[in-house]
Amino acid sequence: MLSQIIFAVALLLTIWIFGYTSSRYIKLFRITKPAFPVRDIRKRILLTLRVAMGQSKMFRKPFTGFMHALVFWGFLVILIGSIEMVIDGLTGSERSLKVLGGLYELIIALGDVFALLVVIAILIFLGRRLFLHVKRFEGIEMKYISHLDAKVALSIILLLMLTLIGMNAGYVALKVAGNEPIHGVFPISKHLAGLLEGMNVVQLHLFHEIHWWAHILLIFFFANLLPYSKHFHVFMSLPNVFLSRLDPLAKLPNMDSITREVKLMMDPETAFASAEGEAAPERFGVKDAEDVSWKNYLDSLACTECGRCTSVCPAAITGKKLSPRKIVMDLRARMREKGKGLISQGKDFIDQKALLRDYISEEELWACTTCNACAKECPININQPTLIVDMRRYLVMEEGSAPGELKAVFNNIENNGAPWQYSSEDRLLWAKDIEIKKS
Amino acid sequence: MADLFSRGEQPEYLFWVGCAGAYDDRYKKVAAAFVKILSYLEVNYAVLGKEESCTGDPARRAGNEMLYQMQALQNIELFKGYKINKIITICPHCYNIFKNEYPDLGGRYQVISYVDFLDGLISSGKLVFSPEALGGVTITYHDPCYLGRGNDIYDSPRRVLQAVSGKLVEMHRNRSFALCCGAGGGQMFKEAEKGDKEVFIERTEDALKTEASVIATACPFCMTMMTDGLKYKSKEEDIKNYDIAELIVQAMGI
């Protein structure tokens, strides 16, 4: 009974802290701007199955992709075991999901095997971070804390798996020693249970309890650490994939506020008719955290800083300042910095800083070729180019700021309908003297 | 278009030449090559001529949404006047903006990229030539971002190239992994930001590694970049950069 009370208190504390964290994130999401209506649920489910469950984009790098897929699939299977542990902990029962019968045996067996596979994958990941010089883990945005963050998360996952294996081995050994039936199949742990043969039933019981409690308390701790680390990825990736932008990558979202203005210029009457009841926007484009859409913000929270985007960015590859990962991380950092004020004082809160210039320089923004390599590469469908263009929109339309050559392009398009300074009278010169043959 | 319209005729396709096709000396030849193919097959098409104007793409990618929408809404009005519903483009940026972005402003058309159009002509047997016609040259294809990643058009240009020469070799970064030429998003018109290297040189090196004697492109900006890259590497004598339409014209001898 005492252990049930302790468990319930730990669980409530976990939920309470998690609830507090979530409420702050929800408040920040409320400040963000609309992105697109979430339709095509069927398409989204299929996309989630393919990209999230099937890890399809991870496999663009086959080896690390496969390792990550093992960790993810393992996580899904082991999650069922964790749910069982919560039920057991609250009710004082043991292996309560055994009522599922054959399915239970399968889930437990898979979880046991995956625990070992995840250990192997995590050791490889830690090895890559500690001993190999992987270029995409470096960059100006990768500060000491980013590296620490990654290593802490990997270490916790490793501990989670080791305690799980210890718990399983202890369970098997305890049941064997007590001549009791074993629920579940343990292809890996049953061999490890042999190593515990020297222990008596009391010692085995203690061994099992220690691992059980260590495992579940670590989960509770991890769940509340995640929202404050880049590994919030664990929670946010799935929704981020489900809520992906479904348009072709090259399509930019339309600015309806501009459409109203342009229609007003071209035909005042239609514009008035359509503008009715709609508030004028405060700002064109993105200057600071509160200007971004909910999808931009969700992207930033789901990013786990893997750097695949930057590793394929033509600007980054050729030594320019732009790093798509930095753009995403900067948005997250800026929202964190400004969030407190935004939550307490609302959208009008100012702190004399902005995402533009204090975090992201114009040089970075103008280096983008909008080639969409970053967005294509991102395993969880983060879209960096639309945010970059939104920041260019602010620069151009609110500040009139752009590289001189682009200002000339704007002038040429406006004056002679082409980015170059040629007269529209000359538009057909190319067609002179073409020799035409007929079939 | 205006001439046909005044005679009360309606062409099946509008061939959108694009600013590069109209003004860029190198790409004018591509526009001419495509027109040769259209005329050879007696496709019922027209061009807008002096009435054509920028789609607004460079302005839009550079953040000038206002200018883009003014261009777009004017073009949509013009298309409405001529009752245009099928548009063929030879520029992936024009293709993308008509296909994906004009609909948001009320301009809905059947937009066809010339690579898809040519692929259709070959597979339906309307364009026939021997794969030996080009003397068995080895070709490598550079995916334009706005056809490939941007709109998932990877196969049709490759089928066309397979038809003109059986020897198609891939760069190590190809299809959705292809490296940009460096000219998209307004970069075509400005100096690149400071870095260690120009993007077009990096991409030209990819192409050179394949040892192909022809780099095939399907975008005016890519063509400028890859041609510049060949010049930078002093390879312009040995390796040629042709557009897909030009290769077809060569293979057919028209």
CATH of the domain at A321: 1.10.1060
Task: pLDDT tens for chain B, 254 residues: list them.
Answer: 778 877 888 899 999 999 999 999 999 999 999 999 999 999 999 999 999 999 999 999 999 999 999 999 999 999 999 999 999 999 999 999 999 999 999 999 999 999 999 999 999 999 988 878 788 899 999 999 999 999 999 999 999 999 998 899 999 999 999 999 999 999 999 999 999 999 999 999 999 999 999 999 999 999 999 999 999 999 999 999 999 999 999 999 88
Q: Which residues of B touch A247 (CB under 8 A)?
A: 100
Single-letter residue type at B62: A
Q: What are the backbone angles phi and psi of residue A166, rounded to the nearest 5°? A: -60, -40
Asked, for residue A387, whether it belongs to a domain, the answer is: yes
Residues A342 and A202 in one domain: no
Nearest CA in chain A to B97: A251
**Same domain membership, residue A192 and residue A326:** no
The answer on A298 and A212 residing in a single domain is no
As given in the structure block, the two tokens for residue B21 are: 């096709």
3-state secondary structure of B86: strand
Q: By the 8 A CB rule, do B123 and B164 touch?
A: no
Q: Is residue A239 part of a domain?
A: no
Q: Are residues A208 and A288 in the same domain?
A: no
Give B221 to chain A, closest Cα distance, Å.
12
Q: Which residues pair with B215 in a beta bridge?
A: B140, B241
- A69 close contact with B: CB closer than 8 A: no
pLDDT of residue A129: 94
CA-to-CA distance for A109 and A116, rounded, in angstroms? 11
| Cα separation, A169 vs A413, whole angstroms | 72
Residue A406 lies in a domain: yes
Whether A405 is covered by a domain: the verdict is yes
Q: Is residue A125 part of a domain?
A: yes
Residues B145, B95 contacting (CB under 8 angstroms): no
Residue B216: φ, ψ to 5°: -95, 130
> B48: closest CA among B21, B70, B78?
B78
Query: Is A426 at the interface with chain B, CB within 8 A?
Result: yes
Q: Are strands B139-141 and B86-89 parallel, antiparallel or unpaired?
A: unpaired
Whether A161 and A52 share a structural domain: yes
Residue B33's contacts (CB-CB under 8 Å, 6 or more residues apart) are B243, B245, B246, B248, B249
Nearest-CA neighbor of A374 among A320, A304, A323? A323
What pLDDT is stored for residue A384 in this prediction?
A: 98
Same-domain pairing of A156 and A49: yes
Same domain, A313 and A397: yes
pLDDT given at position A272: 59
Helix (H, G, I), strand (E, B) or coil at A40: coil
Nearest by CB to B198, from A248, A318, A395: name it. Answer: A318
Whose CA is closest to B180, among A367, A255, A127? A367
Residues A213 and A305 occupy one common structural domain = no
Q: What is the mean pLDDT of each run of 10 residues along chain A (439 residues)?
A: 94 97 95 94 98 97 97 96 96 93 95 98 96 92 94 97 97 94 94 91 96 97 95 96 97 94 78 55 89 97 97 97 98 95 88 96 97 98 98 97 96 95 92 83
Q: Check whether residue A213 and residue A287 sit in a common domain.
A: no
Closest approach of chain A CAs to the CA of B219, in angstroms? 13
Range of the domain at A355: 282-418
Burial B200-211 (b: 16+ CB within 10 A, else e): bebbbebbbebe
Instruction: Count CB atoms within 10 A of the CB of residue A255.
Output: 22
Rg of chain A taking only CA atoms, in angstroms = 28
DSSP string, A186-208: -TTHHHHHGGGTTS-HHHHHHHH
Quote ipTM for the complex: 0.96
Indicate whether A268 belongs to any domain.
no
Query: Which sign, positive or negative, has the C-alpha torsion A274, A277, A283, A288?
Result: negative
Instruction: Say yes or no for a CB contact (<8 Å) between A372 and B149.
Output: yes
Q: Are strands B110-113 and B86-89 parallel, antiparallel or unpaired?
A: parallel
* Residue A398, in any domain of the structure: yes
* Tokens 């926007």 -> residue: A281
A308, A369, A376, A434: best mutation site toward chain B, by most B Cβ within 10 Å? A369
Please state, in angstroms and rounded to a whole number, the distance separating the CA atoms of residues A125 and A68: 9
The alpha-carbon gap from B237 to the nearest alpha carbon of chain A, in Å, equals 25
| Contact residues, chain A, for B202 at CB < 8 Å | 314, 317-318
Q: Do A320 and B192 touch (CB under 8 A)?
A: yes
Total structural domains in chain A? Answer: 2
HSE-up of residue A268 (Cα within 13 Å, Cβ side): 0
Element (H, E) at B17: none
pLDDT digits (tens, 9 = 90+) for B83-125: 999 999 999 999 999 999 999 999 999 999 999 999 999 999 9
Residues A115, A211, single domain; the answer is yes
Domain-terminating residue out of A204, A233, A262: A233
pLDDT of res. B22:
96
Q: Domains for chain B: give ranges and CATH numbers.
A: 2-117 (3.40.50), 129-252 (3.40.50)
- In sequence order, the β-bridge partners of residue B141 are B216
Is the CB of residue B140 less than 8 Å from the CB of residue B170? yes
Claim to verify: residue A62 and residue A208 sit in the same structural domain: yes
Half-sphere CA count of B184, side-chain side, radius 13 A: 28
- B183 vs A contacts (CB less than 8 Å): 369
B25-40 vs B114-123: helix crossing angle, rounded to 10: 30
A306 backbone dihedrals φ, ψ, rounded to 5°: -70, -25
The pLDDT of residue A279 is 59
Decide if A243 is inside a domain.
Answer: no
Whole-angstrom distance, CA of residue B177 vs CA of residue A431: 36
Sequence-ordered alpha helix ranges (H) in chain B: 2-6, 18-23, 25-40, 57-61, 65-81, 92-96, 114-123, 148-151, 155-164, 199-209, 220-232, 244-252
Q: Identify the H or E element spanning B45.
A: strand B45-46
d(CA B38, CA B44): 8
CA distances for B66 relative to A260, A262, A410, B172, B196, angstroms: 10, 7, 10, 39, 34
Last residue of a domain, one of A233, A264, A296: A233
Question: What per-residue confidence (pLDDT) applies to A277?
Answer: 53
Reported as half-sphere exposure (CB side, CA atoms, 13 A), residue A344 has a value of 6
- B60 vs A contacts (CB less than 8 Å): 252, 389
Distance CA A220, CA A139 (A): 32
Q: Are residues A28 and A133 in the same domain?
A: yes
Q: How far is A275 from chain B (nearest CA, A)?
A: 15
> Given the DSSP bridges, would you call strands B13-16 and B110-113 parallel, antiparallel or unpaired?
unpaired
What confidence score (pLDDT) does residue A268 get? Answer: 66
Q: Give the gap in angstroms from C-alpha B77 to the nearest C-alpha of chain A.
A: 11
- In this prediction, residue B4 carries a pLDDT of 80
Give the distance from CA B205 to its chain's centroid: 22
**Is A336's Cβ below 8 Å from some Cβ in B?**
no
Contact A431 B198 (CB under 8 A): no
Give the residue from B16, B55, B193, B196 with the most A CB atoms within 10 Å of its CB, the best one to mutate: B193
Q: How far apart are CA A80 and CA A108, in angstroms?
A: 9
What's the full length of chain B, in residues?
254
How far does the CA of residue B47 sit from the closest CA of chain A (Å)? 9
Pick from B28, B66, B150: CB nearest A430: B28
Nearby residues of B26 by Cβ (< 8 Å), 6 or more positions away = B220, B223, B224, B227
User: For residue A262, which residues of chain B lie inside 8 Å, CB to CB?
Assistant: 66, 69-70, 73
Out of B36, B145, B191, closest to residue A434 by CB: B36
Tell which residue, B193, B187, B66, has the closest CA to residue A394: B66
Q: What was the pLDDT predicted at A168?
A: 97
Q: Is B175 left (phi over 0), alpha (psi -120 to 50) or beta?
A: left
Which pair of structure tokens corresponds to residue B151? 């709109």
**Residue of B23, B42, B197 to mutate when probing chain A, most A C-beta within 10 A:** B23
> Is there a contact between B193 and A393 if contact means CB atoms under 8 Å apart?
no
Write out chain A residues lying below 8 Å of B190, CB-based.
Answer: 366, 403, 405-406
* Coil/strand/helix, residue B77: helix
> In angstroms, rounded to a whole number, what is the distance separating the alpha carbons of residues B78 and A19?
56
Cβ separation of A403 and B180 shorter than 8 Å? no
Give pLDDT, residue A278.
Answer: 56
